[in-house]
Amino acid sequence: MKMDVLLGLQWGDEGKGKVVDYLAPDYEIVARFQGGPNAGHTLEFDGIKHVLHQIPSGIFRQNIHNIIGNGVVLDPVVLRKEIEALKKFNIDFKKNLAISKKATIILPTHKLLDAAYEKSKGDKKIGSTLKGIGPTYQDKIGRMALRVGDMLSPDFKEKYTELVQRHQSILDYYQFSLKNLPALEADFFEAVEFFKSLQLVETEFEVNAALKSGKRVLAEGAQGALLDIDFGSYPFVTSSSTMTAGACTGLGVPPTSIGEVFGIFKAYCTRVGSGPFPTELFDADGEKMRREGNEFGSTTGRARRCGWLDLPALKYSIMINGVTQLFMMKADVLNGFEEIKVCTGYELPDGTHTDRLILTGSDQDAKPVYHRLKGWNCSLQEVTTYADFPEALRNYVDYLEGELEVPITMVSVGPDRKKTILK
């Protein structure tokens, strides 16, 4: 069996949580492979809305094993809160959730470092979620981090103290106050004790054995391709590999075992945090997208920047990830637009034109060139099959498929699990 991968193709918040929850019954395992509590994945069903940060989005489905892989950076305090918030759902976390002993742990000082680095950058700040992601991955690559497996060792406290002392000297350099640290540490060590009661295993063996025995595995991406550490709009990116390749290193699955790659995108674009966004709108249309799409961050509550769909960006994300199927999300958010624009390329300051994505250097001067399509300008409330779609929406899907050269096999028309239309 091959492992399928689901990834965001834009700047995150495409609706990954909704789709993973929708697809989960087709799988035996759902696994997160990168990122950490910077993610906010929203699921809606039975009139309730849930936001998951570190727990995979298969957790509400029966008989699904959920895995947090080695590529993830985990905050024990956040995980404990997430698990406690789900108590009323009677989920058997000891059975249905396994955590890699090789996953990296976020320490309280990683969060302080995140804040110190951001503050020192002034108006060049990344707009980080301040969950400690960057500093934790820095320590991982620097071969200094603590891993989940270290929690089980008798000298965990010594290892912790050694690393925290390094952090303190950096925080001193930034003259960053440590007054909150004792309280954060108390929470942290309580959460570590709780954490030890969970299933901490070598998840790479579990995933590969499952595939070998014919079980279906879905890898759930966090963030999006344009936030990837290598290919995103560096330095305004997150610190992990958000790509298909990241699913291999973040779970220990060989590239030859990758099956379908589901790429998901909104019918428009959003971005939260700083960095280039060529099709960003600062007018009433952008405001309307934010209002209709409720575009406020699931993790930080920040207003998301909104703009038209960017085809060069999508083509790039499809290329670097080997996307085999596309899912278009939040089509309903464009219901009230008489005209819909799609960026097909950019005009550069020297008057030349390019249809290649450029997100570094002088790209902020790149002016989007738009193709205009007629909007459907009606509600999608009653739509239950693809045949029910208004003609203009079908034209939009056909146009995008033609440009992107990958089939759009699913269109989402509302936040609820049921508002998912297969083509």
Give me the active site residues, please.
Answer: 13, 41
What are the two backbone dihedrals, phi and then psi, of residue 422, each rounded to the nearest 5 degrees?
-90, 145
Kindly state the smallest distance separating residue 370's Cβ from ligand GDP, in Å: 23
N-term to C-term CA, the chain: 25
Q: Say whether residue 104 binds Mg ion (CB under 5 A).
A: no
Residue nearest to ligand IMO (CB): 273
CB of 403 to ligand IMO, least distance (A): 24
Q: Is 18 in the site for ligand GDP (CB under 6 A)?
A: yes
- Distance in angstroms (rounded) separating the CA atoms of residues 212 and 157: 38
Beta carbons of 148 and 200 less than 8 angstroms apart: yes
> DSSP letter string over 253-289?
--GGGEEEEEEEEESSEEE-SSS--TTB--SHHHHHH
Of the residues 253, 307, 415, 423, which one makes contact with ligand GDP according to CB under 6 A: 415
Which of positions 393-412 make contact with ligand GDP (CB under 6 A)?
412
Taking contact as CB under 5 A, which single stretch among the options 53-61, 71-79, 294-302, 364-372 is the one that binds Mg ion? 294-302
CB of 249 to Mg ion, least distance (A): 22
241 binds, among ligand GDP, Mg ion, ligand IMO, none (CB under 5 to 8 A by kind): none
CA 342 to chain centroid: 23
- The token duo for 75 is 């905050």
Minimum separation from the CB atom of position 20 to Mg ion (A): 12
Stretch that binds Mg ion, among 8-16, 56-64, 132-140, 195-203 (CB under 5 A): 8-16
Chosen from ligand GDP, ligand IMO, Mg ion, none, partner binding at 332 (C-beta under 5 to 8 Å by type)? ligand GDP
Which segments of 298-352 are extended strands (E)? 305-307, 309-310, 325-329, 339-347
Q: Could you write out the three-class secondary structure of 362-414?
A: HHHHCEEEEEEEECCCCCCCCCCCHHHCCHHHHHHHHHHHHHHCCCEEEEECC
Asked if residues 412 and 331 have their Cβ atoms less than 8 Å apart, the reply is: yes
Q: Please count the other Cβ atoms lying within 10 Å of the Cβ belonging to residue 2.
A: 13
Segment contacting Mg ion by CB under 5 A, of 240-248, 297-305, 323-331, 399-407: 297-305
By beta-carbon proximity to ligand GDP, the closer residue of 145 and 410 is: 410
- Closer residue to ligand IMO, CB minimum distance, 12 or 58: 12
Cβ nearer to ligand IMO, comparing 126 with 359: 126
The answer to whether 270 contacts Mg ion (rule: CB under 5 A) is no
- Using rule CB under 6 A, residue 16 touches ligand GDP: yes
Nearer to Mg ion, 298 or 420 (CB): 298
Interaction between residue 42 and ligand GDP (CB under 6 A): yes
The Cα 130–Cα 44 span in angstroms is 26
Handedness of CA 27, 6, 18, 230 (dihedral sign): positive
Nearest residue (CB) to ligand IMO, 241 versus 345? 241
271 contributes a contact to ligand GDP by CB under 6 A: no
Identity of the residue, 140 or 290, whose beta carbon is nearer to ligand GDP in the bound complex: 290
Q: Decide which of Mg ion, ligand GDP, ligand IMO, none touches 412; Cβ closer than 5 to 8 Å per partner kind.
A: ligand GDP
Residues between 289 and 308 that touch ligand GDP (CB under 6 A):
293-294, 298
Closer residue to ligand GDP (CB): 8 or 135: 8
Q: Which residues pair with 258 in a beta bridge?
A: 3
Which position's Cβ is nearest ligand GDP?
Answer: 42
Under DSSP, the state recorded for 68 is E
Q: Note the helical H segments in 15-97.
A: 16-23, 76-85, 93-96
Residue 345 interacts with ligand GDP (CB under 6 A)? no
The b-or-e profile of 308-343 (16+ CB within 10 A means b, else e) is: bbbbbbbbbbbebbbbbbbbbbbbbbbbebeebbbb
- Contact call for residue 40 and Mg ion (CB under 5 A): yes
Cα–Cα separations (whole angstroms), residue 187 to 30, 130, 183, 236 = 29, 17, 7, 31
Nearer to ligand IMO, 40 or 414 (CB): 40
Pairing of strands 305-307, 269-271: antiparallel
Tokens of 193: 């004790």
Q: What is the DSSP-derived secondary structure letter of residue 61?
A: S
CB of 38 to Mg ion, least distance (A): 9
Choosing from 3, 6, 11, 14, the residue that interacts with ligand GDP (CB under 6 A) is 14
The contact set with ligand IMO (CB under 6 A) reads 8, 11-13, 38-41, 126-129, 131, 133-134, 222-224, 227, 238, 272-273, 298
Binding residues for ligand GDP, per CB under 6 A?
Answer: 8, 12-18, 40-42, 44, 293-294, 298, 329-330, 332-333, 412-415, 419
